Structure 1
């Protein structure tokens, strides 16, 4: 065999070995949050729990989908009626527009986190200040809202929410790889680490999944569903439709540029 052919064979074998033994990138874990902007439990989850995956790096193995629609329902002519009144519909639109305007999850989450922090302080009428706090230009968000595109996005989120199997019964409704966590949603990080099939990141250390007696591993999804029937109070439920002042005071919004 001449030297030229030897070199070709050598590089072919080297390329094959590099390909065969190169690390395969693992699939990200799907994490979906179905929520509504003025539900205090949703705001608390976003600002105190969900934010952790950005702080500890777990977001690197997560495909996060935020769905700001919640317990809203469709009325006549595809009008949307929100659980906490018209201001919630407006703020749902704003956050939907933020997700559309800034596809980068870090950017739109920062903006939404800022708004939900204001909700917790009953200052959500100051939502435009989040543009300055996050360093994001909200012009595209305002254009989206004022053009009515936010309503179209909300109708898409309505269809996505209504298609859930099993159907959601309250918010926040957290789903990991198409499986709802029901009342165990605050332990979502453990479910993410359990579902990830690659080398677990450092954030997964100490995140061994422990299941309560009501939701032991032998019961599986049925156990989780059974646990949901004795749901805690940390949720905004379908059967507790409250409009406006009974939960959160309503403020007027201003959307001018």
Structure 2
């Protein structure tokens, strides 16, 4: 399966960010991708007041993403914010396109490194997978990468690939952690991990407020054996990758960590 990861820098204006989604989706489709994944906070970057921009899944922003996916004939996965019942918002991944309509609400909130996502964002609770071209695909978001049980839950649900949109916070050691954690999660669950981060805002000529997770780039596709197959740098870019789904089965035969587990949730 050919996939695309769109490493972009989004701003506070949802309409302007939609224009990026449209352009990148059509580029991915022209390159033969069945799926294109965008970062967390594609709708509006962190540092924006999220309450005023949040919309329900049947609102105009998500509706336009559906139209873009339908016109291009590819599955689009993009981060947005939806209203939560308690007045906060939910950090949501919209997955839409041919034969796909689903949403994943980020389970693990980024209350770390001086940032308190839970102050404005309500946590999700459901593991979500989708099916693209006959392949089961798990959905995770950013800080979720620190919790291997979610990726194993994807594998238990039949997933051979997990998509990981992110807006990774910068700081000492954070790039090393990003790259290590993405590879580790692929090994934990012996599946492909496609991690798409916001591009480094500095590379796009934008400043980021202190302690705000604005992205560092370095999106990557990692095989089920933990090896990095393709990677971007810090600047915006579109990564196209061939994901050999049969490789998951062969790796699991050699290293059957899922079958050898003694403790399960």
User: Scaled by the length of structure 2, what TM-score is found?
Assistant: 0.25
Structure (1 or 2) with the greater strand fraction = 2
Bigger Cα Rg: 1
When you count helix as a share of all residues, which structure comes out higher? 1
TM-score normalised according to structure 1 size: 0.26
